[in-house]
Structure 1
Amino acid sequence: MRADIKLALKVAKATAEPGAVATFDPFNAIPDGLKITVRTRHHSSIDIVVRNIPEEWGWTEGEDRWGRPRTVATPALEALAQALKTIHRAYNYDGSDISTDYFDVNYYGGVADANGRHLA
């Protein structure tokens, strides 16, 4: 996971040729100072943690899924979290069967900020 994140950041910093088709890359929009770390808790949980998120870039006032006002992630932070979630899940095996209450995964975890707020 760490290597994939480093590669994604490196590719995002590469400049395109003039006249090339522009594509959206959530890693390209990362502000300076933002840190992405991979942390292992216990033997079965891997978390990707986004630290030093600038308030104006990462958070805005909005509504949660129940319509209550609260601070929510901006579209830029959500896009980054989804990209990190894709990397996180790429290595996971999930042979679970919910109908029989059988859980069979390589690891648990997700993407969160430094305060433990779940991002993706």
Structure 2
Amino acid sequence: MGSDHFVRITRLRALIDHENTGPGERATAQRMLDRLLRKTMGRNPSQAAADRVYGSRHHRAGRHATTASIVESVRDDIAFARSFAPAGAPGEVSAHSPLAAAPPELIVAVTTPFADQIVVTITDIPPDWGWEPDEFDRIVATEVLRGLADELADIIDAYNHDGTDVGPRFFRTIRAQETTLIR
């Protein structure tokens, strides 16, 4: 592929992904990009989408959503998961949610320090619930705290995408106080 094709493809993608691009201009740029990709790659551009993996909630925020709007959706999902307690009759199997089972004093903050990064910080963790000594007497996260971090990562990943032809929409980090649990 020639370098001028690369520049045109990059500019068209930037125009399509820009939040201030109007719907008509976005559709025109998408059609131009599709034609250019067919011409330069000799294949249907929709084949590239077959190599992508989308999170289960990717459609909620929208294709052109900013990281800040995704953070708001993640915050809403976390608040719902913390307050949701599935009701079941005695003897029924109930779903376990580490967020719902977490101590109420626990604080979960979701921020976006950069345009392509989401950071979740868990604070006010009760010492006996979240931390324990390991075999070398170092203080490490308990299994329940790691389960909470895994659930938070699942919530965030539901809004992400990844694939062979495109990188992730954003990167995520889960921290418990000053300790990074998941990167």
TM interval, shorter chain, is 0.7 to 0.9
Aligned Cα root-mean-square deviation (Å): 2.0
SS in 1 for 2:139: strand
CA offset digits 1:64-110 (Å, max 9, x no partner) = xxxx542111111111111111111111112357xxxxx72211122
Find the counterpart in structure 1 of residue 27 from structure 2: none
Which one has the bigger helix percentage?
2
Larger radius of gyration: 2
CA offset digits 1:7-27 (Å, max 9, x no partner) = 211223x54333332333212
80, 94, 116: which is aligned to 1:7? 80
Counterpart Cα distance in 2 of 1:41 and 1:89: 17
Find the counterpart in structure 1 of residue 120 from structure 2: 48
Counterpart AA for 1:27: L
TM-score by length of 2: 0.53
**CA 88–52 in structure 1, closer or farther in 2 if over 3 Å, else same:** same
- Tell me if the contact between 1:95 and 1:104 (Cα under 8 Å) persists in the aligned partners: yes
Counterpart Cα distance in 2 of 1:69 and 1:23: 34
CA offset digits 1:19-68 (Å, max 9, x no partner) = 332333212321121011110011111111111111110000015xxxx5
Counterpart Cα distance in 1 of 2:106 and 2:96: 19
Q: Unpaired runs of 5+ in structure 1?
A: 98-102
Alignment of 1:72-91 (within 5 A): 72-91=140-159
SS in 2 for 1:22: coil
TM-score by length of 1: 0.78
SS in 1 for 2:76: helix
108, 111, 117: which is aligned to 2:171? 108
- Tell me if the contact between 1:38 and 1:47 (Cα under 8 Å) persists in the aligned partners: yes
Counterpart AA for 2:167: D
- Percent of aligned positions with the same letter in both sequences? 34
SS in 2 for 1:110: strand
